[in-house]
Structure 1
Amino acid sequence: MSIVQQKLHIAVFPWLAHGHILPFLEVSKFLVQMGHRVSYISTPKNISRLPKFPLELSPNLSFVVLPMPQVEGLPPGVESTADIPVHKLPYLKKAYDNLETPLAEFLKTLRIDWIIHDFAPHWLPRIAAPMGINLAYFIIYSASTTAFFGPPDELIGGHRQRPEDFTVTPEWIDYPSDVAFKLHEIVSLEQGMDQDVSDFIRWGSVLQGCQVVTLRSCPEFEPDPLRLLPRLLQKPVVPIGLLPPLLTSAPPDEDDEDDTWKSLRKWLDGKNPKSVFYIALGTEVALSPSLAHELALGIEKSGLPFVWIIKNRPLVEGQMDQDILPPEFEERISGRGFVLRGWAPQMRILAHPSIGGFLTHCGWSSTIEALGLGLPLILFSGAYSDLGLVARLLHGKRVGMEIERNEVDGSFTSEAVAKGIRVVMVEADGEAIRANASAMREICGNVELGRKYLTEFTRFLENYKPLTL
């Protein structure tokens, strides 16, 4: 436990998405370990879904539950992006905006020094500033994504007005980069935006109003964008590191293992080292039934053993994941493939010696987990959020290979899927990818490096001169 001269009270306020909620929790736990008091703020279901934490953290880590506002168009009981298809996301953002008043009332009840916040609450600067509360904008995305979106004035009213404008590297990028959207990706991203307040306006507004920007990256992984960002954003940029997943996690207790993992582990134990590829498409990826069938057929055509995690959520309106596997798929791959529906212990699976690669939707958390274990990536962009930008970044770093897709509509063939899997897993053309990914373990899995950047971020918060009323 680090002793600090002044114990800060820090509020933490993530966006309502699994990929945001957990990194914010990891930072919260670290700040508590450093001696600060943290109030983690979210809605009831999101708080209830959080993983358990060590009891010794509990006195200084409190969870503040704000009732989820209901808005027309948002199905009852929905509190996160994982519960709805992409075209319903604008209603979730409208509901999130209705948290402004209850959040302001909470902030008035306590002395808060900092709020660590996400991209969505464009209204937060105007309620925090009169209270003298400093804002730290935690961008859970990569530095390359952050640089691609650009400065606040570009986000709020820049020259990129058409989807096509986002398919090229912007003029302010002063280093070699292929990071840009494919047309189908930016069209999909815009489908999830609230037309009254776009994600770009949200991002630009919180950038203008914050005192410091932190993001999930480090100079060892992304030196060029981290060099550019302070000048581009005109703000202090203090990277928080890659948040290796084992940073604050205890080793798994075999007594806690459930029957599903026990059966999967037994299956994996019977496979050769690095022979199995793992497939997980996150909680937000939407595929039509025909494209889901094409993906499954490509996985089958690869001829390699695999573990496929299928989430029990609607991929398209009224259709659950298990409805979109091709007929008799599971019978045909019996013995070679293991299909698991619902939640799965991803880190335990990735860490198993039989796993040799990861077919991923390119979520930043998942890719960091895989690269932290030295696993090469079969990149299948989820075409939402910044997933396409992550795919370009990792393809460019030669730690993975993108599955070839039509840039306009996102379609692909089963042959392209099979080819991508085989190159990354077994073919000679993928040797450099496998070697590069293995070397990334030294950065992405480096717990001490992660602690270094978290500590530097904490010191910035401690030493920053507070706003004066």
Structure 2
Amino acid sequence: MAISEAGAHILIIPYPAQGHMIPLLDLTRQLALRNLTITILVTPKNLHYLNQLLIKHPSIQPLVLPFPAMAALPPAGVENVRDLPPGSFRLFTMVLADLYDPIVKWFQSHSSPPVAVVSDIFLGWTNRLANELKIPRYVFSPSGALALSVVYNLWNNMPRRNDPTDKNEVIEFCDIPNCPSFPWWKISPVFRSYVAGDPQYEVFKDSFREDIASWGLVINSFTELERIYLDYLKEFLGHDRVWAVGPLLPPREEQVKRGGFSGNLANEIELWLDQFEAGTVVYVCFGSQVVLSNKQMEMLALGLEKSAVRFLWSYKAPTEEDVLENYGVMPLRFKDGVGERRLIVKGWVPQVSILSHQAIAAFLTHCGWNSVLESIAAGVPMLTWPMGADQFANADLVDELKLGTRLCEGEEMVPDPDELARVVAQSVTDSRGGKGVRAEELSKASVDSIAQGGSSCKALNCLVDFLSRRETS
């Protein structure tokens, strides 16, 4: 018999990457507002991401555990994917499983231990942990339902290739609605490495299969956006414990500080945008991890210049190794700061507040799911340049929903500056047209979904009821 009680203790375990951690912390805020008691596992150098939560919600407490030793991953002290050396993602993800025993010891010594675990999709080992602790594990997916359907299908069905030498061989997913398909080079690089015979990637197969076997699934999406793919996931998993609770966004007063951002730069950006009429600025950002090659930077800059539109470009600061390998360097004529028609910012910016500014006409994006969902919530059409991982599926969804225009695709693609200029200029002209109208419609649907009585609000309330149960049968 299920027992429900207010204030049940829940353990939250994020994956230490910006795109994963931020939406899970937004979910944590929503759970705290619904009277749950929460412990968040965090390593010392990521503790600052919790500052706003801990100040405003005394029911949330951190469990600070030392990051597992990883001598094979220089430089020492890296605790976030954003700061990893190239090629270190696999080892970084694997070493996190060394937190297993410290968590068990903490749980066993706690006077009132958690009754459930909510953990990131990359932390499949936490399902074994939850089984040992005899509590349910809920997977949190920072990706959307379409992209997750593709990933689960890959690792569960292990599709075979006809020609292992053909990177353009098309892999079809006909079990999934609309039968999505991708050439081999667009398939998850982790899966491709596994298929290529690297035994060290076996851990990812085990991890995703643990996800599939977990008690429940929480997705940062909303029913009106991905209904057919959410229904598919319920069918695929064989149960209906799937909750679409998005879009997970911070309160307006916390948007600037989301992701640890601070300082006066947010005010400078807002003042710059305030100068312009509605729908006249293109926002350009490729997320917290993508670093473009110098050639890509040059052609993108040239195309933006030729477009004659105003633009705000945020880019990741290159490491010394990036610079040596010809990545991430802004062309000399495009200095950081304010130019005649541009504002160029190196580093993290308050994306949610930027997208919600009336001056923004379009968003040139790599199609990370957070960026896609934030753009939808703000009612901003997209210019898409998917690079890898789930971004190709996300870009396909943008196409399917008629919310954007495909500009480029692939991490090695160098854009044609003339074509880029044409598409960017057209995006400003069309911002009040078809795609703009469609974006506004879905923006309203997203707002309605998280309002009282909306689909995501109901899903959150239902999730809290399940999380509060001490038994799963």
Normalising to structure 2: TM-score of the pair? Answer: 0.86
| Residue 402 in structure 1 maps to residue 406 in structure 2 | yes
Quote how far apart the aligned CAs of 1:243 are.
2.8
Give the stretch that moved more between structures: 49-58 or 357-366: 49-58
Deviations 1:389-412 (A, max 9, x none): 11111122110111134x695343
Deviations 1:131-157 (A, max 9, x none): 211111111111111211235xx5156
2:415 corresponding residue in structure 1:
412
* Distance in 1 (alpha carbons) for counterparts of 2:72 and 2:417: 36
* Distance in 2 (alpha carbons) for counterparts of 1:202 and 1:321: 36
* Distance in 2 (alpha carbons) for counterparts of 1:323 and 1:208: 37
Give the stretch that moved more between structures: 102-111 or 60-69: 102-111
Does the C-alpha gap of structure 1 residues 257 and 72 become closer, same or farther in structure 2, counting only changes over 3 Å?
A: closer
Question: Alignment partner of 2:88: what SS?
Answer: helix
2:465 corresponding residue in structure 1:
459
Which residue, 433, 436, 439 being the options, matches 1:437?
439
Question: Alignment partner of 2:87: what SS?
Answer: helix
* Distance in 1 (alpha carbons) for counterparts of 2:70 and 2:105: 20
2:429 corresponding residue in structure 1:
426
| Residue 186 in structure 1 maps to residue 192 in structure 2 | no
Does the C-alpha gap of structure 1 residues 293 and 192 become closer, same or farther in structure 2, counting only changes over 3 Å?
A: farther
Does the aligned pair in 2 maintain the 1:84–1:314 contact within 8 Å? no
| Residue 261 in structure 1 maps to residue 260 in structure 2 | no
| Residue 84 in structure 1 maps to residue 90 in structure 2 | no
| Residue 17 in structure 1 maps to residue 17 in structure 2 | yes
Q: Matches of residues 185-334 of structure 1 in structure 2 within 5 Å?
A: 185-186=186-187, 188=189, 196-198=200-202, 200-246=204-250, 248-250=251-253, 258-314=263-319, 317-318=322-323, 324-330=329-335, 334=339
**Consecutive unaligned residues in structure 2, runs of 5 or more:** none
Quote how far apart the aligned CAs of 1:198 are.
4.8
Give the stretch that moved more between structures: 391-400 or 77-86: 77-86
Deviations 1:247-296 (A, max 9, x none): x4537799x99432333322222222110011111111132222222222
Quote how far apart the aligned CAs of 1:225 are.
0.9
Does the aligned pair in 2 maintain the 1:143–1:226 contact within 8 Å? yes
Does the aligned pair in 2 maintain the 1:211–1:235 contact within 8 Å? no
Deviations 1:408-466 (A, max 9, x none): 953432233223322322159x9321211121111223331343321122123235733
* Distance in 2 (alpha carbons) for counterparts of 1:341 and 1:331: 7
Whichever residue aligns with residue 373 of structure 1, its letter is A
Does the aligned pair in 1 maintain the 2:234–2:242 contact within 8 Å? no
Question: Alignment partner of 1:63: what SS?
Answer: strand
1:8 corresponding residue in structure 2:
8
Quote how far apart the aligned CAs of 1:46 are.
1.5
Question: Alignment partner of 1:327: what SS?
Answer: coil
Whichever residue aligns with residue 72 of structure 1, its letter is A
Deviations 1:142-200 (A, max 9, x none): 1111211235xx51562346685984331211x3254x445444375558988513575
Does the aligned pair in 2 maintain the 1:279–1:309 contact within 8 Å? yes
* Distance in 2 (alpha carbons) for counterparts of 1:73 and 1:239: 38
Deviations 1:8-61 (A, max 9, x none): 211011111111111111222222222221110121112223351364521x21
What fraction of aligned residue pairs are identical, expressed as a percent? Answer: 22
2:103 corresponding residue in structure 1:
103
2:47 corresponding residue in structure 1:
47
Deviations 1:205-258 (A, max 9, x none): 322431111211222111111111111122333223213424x4537799x994
Does the C-alpha gap of structure 1 residues 434 and 339 become closer, same or farther in structure 2, counting only changes over 3 Å?
A: same
Q: How many residues align?
A: 454
Superposition CA RMSD, Å? 3.2
* Distance in 1 (alpha carbons) for counterparts of 2:65 and 2:207: 23
1:345 corresponding residue in structure 2:
350
* Distance in 2 (alpha carbons) for counterparts of 1:182 and 1:413: 22
Does the aligned pair in 1 maintain the 2:104–2:133 contact within 8 Å? no
Does the aligned pair in 2 maintain the 1:90–1:192 contact within 8 Å? no
1:387 corresponding residue in structure 2:
391
* Distance in 2 (alpha carbons) for counterparts of 1:257 and 1:128: 36
* Distance in 1 (alpha carbons) for counterparts of 2:192 and 2:242: 32
Does the aligned pair in 2 maintain the 1:305–1:337 contact within 8 Å? yes
Give the stretch that moved more between structures: 458-467 or 304-313: 458-467
2:71 corresponding residue in structure 1:
72
Normalising to structure 1: TM-score of the pair? Answer: 0.86
Question: Alignment partner of 1:150: what SS?
Answer: helix
* Distance in 1 (alpha carbons) for counterparts of 2:346 and 2:317: 6
Deviations 1:50-86 (A, max 9, x none): 351364521x211111111122331211111111255
